[in-house]
């Protein structure tokens, strides 16, 4: 059982809701990565998603794109990120989930990539441009290394395919909340909540909603239909503004919800 499976198995067992913040590695300099990971764990993160800057981030909205550009301009590389994550592992106990596109992995070398992230203590990997039909190029290697491949479904994914994708995971299923890219939204339509409910019904692992979630109200509402949330653009914005108090309040939204339940 890998660390992501353990962490989200506990979420399912206790009925608590998960909060997974996303940060862009190298935004603000790689030297601040460990401090940010430690802070997010202190604020109650179930796991932390760490983005790898890429020149063609097809799933990312303006906030994360700008963070990636800043990171690339500061000289951030995949190799450098992995080295920093290995250093951070001693100070951070929650699972680290690396989010990267396929191109940087190919450039790094699939075998070397898996070997190095395993050595660095990375618990999971999200590869948004890796379709189910092609994941055999890396999924068996990740499984052997006990690194969980986190798979994504969207509101346009047919229910039988959602069930097929969910059956392959052991950590959590990432349910994309919008038909588009990341970025804060003012609200979500009712179709989304139906999608989350149906996804949860067919998934044997926890379902987390991500993309566009940016307020305590949205988190509280969203988690009525799923097992937790992934929040990215808002976390990046709060780090850039050094608004750590609001970040802590945002991440405590689930605690408030639990007390009200």
Give per-residue pLDDT as tens, 117-161. Answer: 999 999 999 999 999 999 999 999 999 999 999 999 999 999 999
Among 127, 139, 27, 21, which residue's Cα sits nearest to residue 81? Answer: 27
The reply to whether 80 falls in a domain is yes
pLDDT per position as a tens digit, 56-101: 777 677 889 899 999 999 999 999 999 999 999 999 999 999 999 9
The reply to whether 6 falls in a domain is no
Question: Residue 31: which domain range?
Answer: 16-260
Spatial contact of 181 and 61, defined as CB atoms under 8 Å apart = yes
E runs forming strands in the chain: 18-24, 48-51, 96-99, 124-126, 148-150, 152-153, 173-176, 207-210, 228-231
Mean pLDDT of 7-19: 91
Mean pLDDT of 25-45: 96
Mean pLDDT of 195-201: 95
% of the chain residues with pLDDT over 90:
79
The reply to whether 11 falls in a domain is no
Mean pLDDT of 210-230: 91
The reply to whether 2 falls in a domain is no
31 is catalytic: no
Spatial contact of 33 and 83, defined as CB atoms under 8 Å apart = no
Spatial contact of 171 and 4, defined as CB atoms under 8 Å apart = yes
Q: Are strands 207-210 and 228-231 parallel, antiparallel or unpaired?
A: parallel
Mean pLDDT of 7-33: 94
β-pair partners for 209:
175, 229
> What is the pLDDT of the chain when averaged over all its residues?
91
The reply to whether 230 falls in a domain is yes
CA distance 148 to 5: 8
60 is catalytic: yes
Mean pLDDT of 37-50: 97
Number of domains the chain is built from: 1
Mean pLDDT of 164-190: 76
Of 27, 49, 84, 227, which one is the catalytic site residue?
A: 49
The reply to whether 10 falls in a domain is no
Whether pLDDT at 18 is above 70: yes
pLDDT of residue 12: 85
pLDDT of residue 59: 67
How crowded is residue 109: how many other Cβ atoms within 10 Å of its Cβ?
11
Looking up residue 256, the CATH number of its domain turns out to be: 3.20.20.70
The reply to whether 4 falls in a domain is no
The reply to whether 7 falls in a domain is no
β-pair partners for 70:
none
Whether pLDDT at 186 is above 80: no
Mean pLDDT of 104-120: 98
Of 60, 84, 116, 148, which one is the catalytic site residue?
A: 60
For residue 171, give both structure tokens. Answer: 């950590």
């Amino acid at each position: 059982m890998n660390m992501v499976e353990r962490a989200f198995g506990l979420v399912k067992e206790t009925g608590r809701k998960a909060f997974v913040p996303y940060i862009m590695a190298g935004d603000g300099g790689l030297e601040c990565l460990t401090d940010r990971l430690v802070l997010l764990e202190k604020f109650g993160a179930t796991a932390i998603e760490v983005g790898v800057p890429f020149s063609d981030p097809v799933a990312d909205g303006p906030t994360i794109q700008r963070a990636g550009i800043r990171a690339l301009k500061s000289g951030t590389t995949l190799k450098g990120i992995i080295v920093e994550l290995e250093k951070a592992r001693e100070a951070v106990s929650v699972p680290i989930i690396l989010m990267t596109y396929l191109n940087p992995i190919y450039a790094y070398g699939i075998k070397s990539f898996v070997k190095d992230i395993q050595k660095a203590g990375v618990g999971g990997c999200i590869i948004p441009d890796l379709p189910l039909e092609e994941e055999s190029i890396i999924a068996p290697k990740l499984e052997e290394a006990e690194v969980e491949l986190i798979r994504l479904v969207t509101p346009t994914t047919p229910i039988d395919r959602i069930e097929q994708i969910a059956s392959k995971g052991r950590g959590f299923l990432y349910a994309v909340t919008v038909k588009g890219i990341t970025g804060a939204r003012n609200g979500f339509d009712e179709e989304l909540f139906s999608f989350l409910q149906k996804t949860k019904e067919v998934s044997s692992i926890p379902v987390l909603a991500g993309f566009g979630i940016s307020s305590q109200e949205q988190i509280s509402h969203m988690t009525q239909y799923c097992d937790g949330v992934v929040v990215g653009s808002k976390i990046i914005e709060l780090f850039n503004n050094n608004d750590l108090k609001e970040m802590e309040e945002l991440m405590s939204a689930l605690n408030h919800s639990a007390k009200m339940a």
